[in-house]
Amino acid sequence: MAEAPQVDETPQIDPADQFEVHPFYVFRWEESQEAHVLLYPEGVVKLNDTAAEILKLCDGDRSVTQIIDELKNVYDVSDPDTASRIEAGVYKFLEDSHAKGWTRRK
């Protein structure tokens, strides 16, 4: 088949990449779990606050850099260590969540 592949498999994340929640997934707050959840065909994932914070910013519009900047605005990053931890954490999360199929590149 000469068709271009539907899904990109490149694990490398570029600062300019834009991610969105995969359209097969429903991402929302669930009161009974007091947490954000991801619902998908035959499955449920309960997210911790960190994951939910990042996923909320995955709107297909914001770039990875923008997501990191926004999170740095929310948290006290006077300590440069925290700033770099946030950056590393966002990359790690985007990698994992993309590998799991929760998100896709715009």
Which tokens belong to 25?
């997934």
Residue from 13, 17, 20, 35 in contact with another protein (CB under 8 A):
35
| Contact between residue 104 and residue 19 where contact means Cβ atoms under 8 Å apart | yes
Q: Taking CB under 8 A as the rule, does residue 78 contact another protein? A: no
Q: Taking CB under 8 A as the rule, does residue 13 contact another protein? A: no
CA 15 to each of CA 2, 25, 69, 71: distance values in angstroms, whole numbers, following the listed order:
30, 24, 11, 15
- List residues binding another protein (CB under 8 A): 5-7, 9, 23-24, 26, 28, 30, 32-33, 35, 37, 39-51, 53, 71, 74-76, 82, 85-86, 88-90, 92-93, 96-97, 101
